[in-house]
Amino acid sequence: MSLKVNVCGVEFKNPIIAASGTFGFGKEFADYIDLDKLGGISSKGLTLHKNLGNKGIRIYETASGIMNSIGLQNPGIEYFIKEELPFLEKKTQ
């Protein structure tokens, strides 16, 4: 049985796509799950230049959950292309 889906002309082998942000760039979870079984990975957000994110308290626990204000912490696009993208490209072959 095929679980393939097509989203705007992009075909995925199944509809299971790891969530943006919480899944990092994918490599971080490779020791915990078989990434090849996912339909795709929606990586965390990137900015042109490295961004350290917000200063001060970034995660706050409340009675009904957790609030966060991380502030798009990321290594920048050049780092992503050089260090993270080659790993993801291997996963698509």
pLDDT single digits (tens) 77-89? 999 999 999 998 8
- pTM for the model: 0.76
pLDDT tens digit sequence for 20-65: 878 889 888 999 999 999 999 888 899 999 999 999 999 999 999 9
The alpha carbons of the chain give a radius of gyration, in whole angstroms, of 16
Give the pLDDT score at 93. Answer: 61
8 Å CB contact between 18 and 75: no
What is the domain count for the chain? Answer: 1
Q: How far is CA 27 from CA 9, 30, 60, 65, in A?
A: 26, 5, 27, 27
Closest of 18, 12, 16 to residue 42, by C-alpha? 18
User: What count of residues does the chain have?
Assistant: 93
For residue 71, give its domain range: 5-90
Q: How confident is the model at residue 90 (pLDDT cuts 50, 70, 90)?
A: confident
